[in-house]
Structures are given as structure tokens and as C-alpha cells.
Amino acid sequence: MPVYKVNVKWGKEKFSEIECNTDEAPLIFKSALYSLTGVVPERMKVMVKGKAIGDDSWSGIKNLKNNITMMMMGSASDLPPEPAEKTQFIEDMTESQVNQASDYPPGLHNLGNTCYMAATLQCLKTVPELKAKLEQSSGQFTRQSMVGSEGICAAMKQLYKEMDTTSEPVTPLVMLKVLHMTFPRFAERGEGGVFQQQDANECWTEIMRMMSEYLPGEGSTSTQTVRKSFIEQYFGGENVTTLKCSESEEEPEAKSIEKWTQLRCHINTDVRYMQLGLTMGLKENIEKTSPTLGRNAVYVKTSNVNRLPSYLTINFIRFFYKEKENINAKVLKDIKFPMEYDALELCSPELKEKLAPARDLFENLRQKKIEKELSGKDIKNKHDEKDEKKEVKYEPTSFPDDIGSNNSGYYELQAVLTHQGRSSSSGHYVAWVKHKEDNWIKCDDEKLSIVKDEDVLKLSGGGDWHVAYTLLYGPKRCEVWEETEEKKEEKKEEVPEMEKME
């Protein structure tokens, strides 16, 4: 592998022994220079014996060798201003708070209206199976793979790996460049040459689509449903849909299966809670050509969820196009959402029946905990202390024949992507991610702050504060109930007594 240790001269400064790998795109090398100098690649010019290095290829660059000196030109970008809002940042914490927060993720530097991308990546990072899948993937940066699904997955893999090895804010330069190369519309610039703000949910959708193309599904046994992609397994749901013409009784119903990776929460004057917004989307009137009537007619489309994924993504339809102002205006209405969500009401009768066994386990666990409290066993004893040291075991959250499904319909909120502002092409995006118990982390670009459950629930809307735009729910886990040795002995003693009675 052609890897060299080179020197770079930038004005009066000189940097020695910088690794230069010509099997990777030059942008990777430039990102290393950015971390040293603060000069973004767009404003950077690197010369080797009078020849400028591009972003995508080392073509034309010859005679590279160890200890060669490159010349770099370009001025560092101004640092962003300090936020006016006073929050509790990790660097301001006490020692005990820092110890508690030692496993918090690092922030992501804003490279000019890139908060939409940062918020999306912070939310998706909360899915452990996704991180593991990216780590296992063979995606890497070459001259051919900077664009498209492999480039996106390789950039995420590299970024998440870097985020897991530091507590300092990370600069997602390579990720941004790959995103821009794959989706040029995200690279549009406004006045002053600054990147324009983009829609975070659009970024979320496109990244998911790229991962769906590159990350294969899991499972190989004959008893398992093997899906085409990892995203379809863990984020994909299915609806069974019926279409009935309301103007012709003779025309038979048409049934079909629709796949999705997001459920939409519709908003109107009647919707005050997320559940109603979701159920509204399951029934709608559409107009299409009727083969029976030979003209356009109104059809009633009814849908029921027939497969729930492990990770449920819900998008609030908060933006609508205003033709006069030529903007996607925002609906600020307060729509309440829960910390724990039960999707049973959305499901088909067939799926409800399949969910029953896992739901019974949750109910049995609840009853046993109530019985324990009523029996007075809630006082700590030796058995309780032993139980505390045991690793908590959980029931499976997926059906055995369907990897990545949800087998109970119960979910817990683990990430919220919010928007502050009046249109999708302006304002500011922030990620709020669950940490432990009722602790959450507000990921506002490179700044992190600790918040509680009640702070997250205030993101429901109703004003110019941060408003929930996309929610990510993960599977609620059911503990495996293990009786203490004392309880087992009590049951053994009960058996002879019962035999005597007989």
C-alpha cells in the first residue's frame, strides 16, 4: 500500500510526518490537514512540485516519497460565535457529573448550516445494531467509492469509529463531502458562499436509502425470513392495504402490500396527540382511474400495519409549501408524543394475534412485580443483594423467524430530531438522544448538555422553541423473571402439602 510520511508547509508553519495514503481519496488527506490548520478543503490548495492535488483523485501527482515537502495555501475559517443560550455543558460539570457523563457521545462541529446532517447522524448512532453492521461492512474510500451507497456507509463507519474514540467534538468533514458528492443539492450555496440549510428528514431518508442499498440483510436459516437489506429488517414496516371504489359497488376491492421506513403523523386542527395523527394516515381518499366506470373516481384506501420493525421512525408532517413566499412553511401546533408507545392500534388482526404472547410476558412481569411489592419483599435482603449483582436478562424483542421485527408492539423513545425556526430551509436542527434512565443528551452541533425526560416532552411544539420533527423509537425490552432460591424452596415445600390434601 503506497503510504508516505510527508511534510506540509503552510505559511510560516511546517507540519512533519503526516500520513499520506494514495489508495484513499485525497479528501482524506486534506481532512487531516484541516484538523491541524482549520482550513476547510474548499479553501485549501495543496501543491506537490507545482501540481495541485484534487479532492477525488491523485491523478497527475508523481514522484511522491517519504519526507517530501508539500506547499499548502488557504486561510482558516472563522470560529462560530458563542451561543447566547446558557446551558449546562459537559466541560462545566463537576467531577461527579463528568464521571457520570464519561460515556456521552462527542458533538459534531458545524461546517456551515450542517446541523441537519449532524442531528440525523447523532440520532441514528443510538441504534447499536446499525453501528455494528457498519463496523462489519467492507466499505472503504477509494477513487471509485467516494460517491453513492458505499461512500455514505464508509463515511458513517469512519465517523462513528472516531466518535467512539474521543470525547472532543469531531469534524465530520469527510461525511459532509461524501454527502455533497452523492447528493449535489445538499451542496447548494447561498449568499456569501455559505452552504444553504437543508431539510433534516430529507437527509435522514436519503442516508437510509443509501444504507439500504449497501448493507445486506441478516439470517440464513430456512425458518427465517431473509430480507434484502439490513435497513428493511430493522427499520422497515409493512402495511396491508385495501383499495375500494366508493362510486362503484360492483368493482372488487384491491389488496396490496406497501413497505415503509417511516410512519407519518398527519397534523390538522383536530390532532393534538401523535396517535391520532398516525391513525389518520391509515385511511384516506384518493382519486384514480376506475376500470369499471371508465373515468376518474374516488377510492377509499385503508391500511393496517402487518409488520412492525425493531426501530420505529415517525415523521411529523410539519412543513407545507407556500407558493407565494416560495418556502416550506412550518406548522407549529403542539402535538403530544409519549416516552413509551404502544403501536397495537395500528396493527392488522393477524399481527395483533402474533403480538399476544410477547405482550403476555410484559403483563406477567408487571403482575409479579406487584406481588413482590405487596408481599413485603421490597425490603433489601441477602437474596436481593445477590440479584442486584446478576446481569439482567431480557426476552427476545423479535419474532424468531423475522430478524429485526418487533414482537410486542411496545416501544421506548430513544432519539428526537427537532427543528427551531419557521421553514425547513432555515432555522436550526438539534438531536436529543436517550442516555440512561431519565437522562438525555441535547446534541446541539459540538455543544452537549444534559436534559431530563420532562425537557424532551416539552419538544411537542406550540411556539418558536425546538419542535419535534422526527422521532426514533426502539424496542421496549421485557426482563426475564427469575425467582430467588428462597422462592423456589417455598414452592418445593408447597408440593408435599398439596399431596397430603389429596
Q: Which residues are catalytic?
A: 115, 428
The CA distances from residue 317 to 119, 141, 346, 366, in Å, are: 18, 36, 18, 35
Q: CA-to-CA distance for 262 and 364, rounded, in angstroms?
A: 31
Q: CA-to-CA distance for 81 and 423, rounded, in angstroms?
A: 23
**Neighbour count for residue 179 (Cβ, 10 Å):** 26
The CA distances from residue 429 to 60, 350, 453, in Å, are: 41, 39, 19
Q: Cell numbers of 323, please?
A: 407558493
Q: CA-to-CA distance for 408 and 475, rounded, in angstroms?
A: 8
Helical pair 149-163 and 128-136, crossing angle rounded to 10 deg: 110
Q: CA-to-CA distance for 406 and 412, rounded, in angstroms?
A: 12
Q: Cell numbers of 274, please?
A: 401523535
The CA distances from residue 271 to 277, 300, 335, 412, 469, in Å, are: 6, 21, 7, 22, 15
Q: CA-to-CA distance for 448 and 430, rounded, in angstroms?
A: 10
**If you ran DSSP here, which 8-state letter would residue 251 be given?**
S
Q: CA-to-CA distance for 264 and 421, rounded, in angstroms?
A: 21
Rg (CA), the chain: 27
Q: CA-to-CA distance for 296 and 290, rounded, in angstroms?
A: 6
Residue showing cell 428462597: 486
CB 3 within 8 A of CB 21: yes
Q: CA-to-CA distance for 184 and 179, rounded, in angstroms?
A: 8
Burial 104-137 (b: 16+ CB within 10 A, else e): bbbbbbbbbbbbbbbbbbbbbbbbebbbebbeeb
The CA distances from residue 452 to 323, 428, 459, in Å, are: 39, 21, 12
How, if at all, do strands 3-10 and 45-48 pair? Answer: unpaired
Q: Cell numbers of 50, please?
A: 507545482
